[in-house]
Amino acid sequence: MKKHNFNPGPAIFPISVLQEASQAILDFNGTGLSILEISHRGSEFTAIMDETISLTKDLLGLTDDHHVLFTTGGASTQFFMLAQNLLNTQDTAAYTDTGTWANKAIKEAKAFANIKVIASSKDKNYSFIPKDLSALPAESRFLHLTSNNTIFGTQLHDWPDVPVPIVSDMSSDIFSRPIPIEKFGLIYAGAQKNLGPSGVTMVIIRKDMVRTDLTHHLPPMLDYKTFIAENSLYNTPPVFSIYGSMLTLRWIKNLGGLDAMQKINEAKAKLLYDEIDANPYFKGTVAVEDRSLMNVCFVCDQEELENEFAVDAKNAGCVNLKGHRSVGGFRASIYNAMPIESVQVLVDTMREFARRKG
């Protein structure tokens, strides 16, 4: 039976990417060496790094004013690394608290500077995206936003107009849609949702955000300037993860880029949300206007039916649907590589469940 993998991360890959990557593990481009064995300072990997950066710039509309860096440690490391690199102790930065990961980012940043939480939906179990940002301090160096909240199933659909650069954690929806790049000073994303294998983190930083006046010492591996100067090759980078990211970016470009990717993602999300809204046995958990295109959270209208539906879904090949304990119910993660045919299987299973119960 075909498995339809709704895992929130690590997420599924396009079949073509898996096929090419698996071949490269055995023999990379006829070199007689595995991609896992090539030198990170050799010409083969230099070409991979150059193409990955070029594809990133092309898809996101980056200019020569941006650096594209590859770090490790996931977004969790960036929570404190970006604060260390962008802020002196006396500086102020603004954050919104829209979910578990945003809350963790706030906690880490508070160790280094004056952090103002200007909006939060925590009191409503993060079921919506707060829109009122009027409390933004004039002296803020940046505004930090989490673009998509994987656990709670909310997403920013409209980027605010603010007088400071936006810094954003885009771990779970980068490359899923076009973005107004001119609004951002820094973007960071763990690869394991829409970009590539786990193990690498992409950081996009505008050149004017790089601080030359920091008053504290940064170890080389925590300093953006190290990664800029060494083209992310100060130490051995996660070679395979970067290679997998390059293949995924190629796949997105061949689909037609981010405009095409957005249309595909909107169609998948509409198919599933329409069924949730129409089916008397299911209901969504977040504000309709803030529903994520990446992580669809829903529960059974009668909690006692959830185990029964979970069995039906598993029997249909729909796996990794269990919701996070903070929300309960179900979470269908439908990232870029999730085909609409798999979403249709889930929808058909929901319809059959309702037919049988009704």
| Residues with catalytic function | 101, 169, 193
Which amino acid is located at 339 in the chain? P
Paired with 114 in beta bridges are: 92
Which parts of the chain fold into alpha helices (H)?
A: 15-26, 43-60, 74-86, 100-109, 224-229, 239-255, 257-278, 306-315, 340-357
Quote the distance between the C-alpha of residue 119 and its chain's center: 21
User: Helix (H, G, I), strand (E, B), or coil: what is residue 346?
Assistant: helix
Q: Tally Cβ neighbours within 10 Å of residue 302.
A: 11
- Tokens read off for 154: 């909310």
Q: What are phi and psi of 5, to 5 degrees?
A: -90, 105
Which residue's entry shows tokens 């390059």?
A: 246
The answer to whether the CB of 11 falls within 8 A of the CB of 335 is yes
Which residue's entry shows tokens 């953006």?
A: 224
- Tokens read off for 44: 């083969």
Helices 257-278 + 239-255 axis angle, to 10: 80
Distance in angstroms (rounded) separating the CA atoms of residues 176 and 309: 29
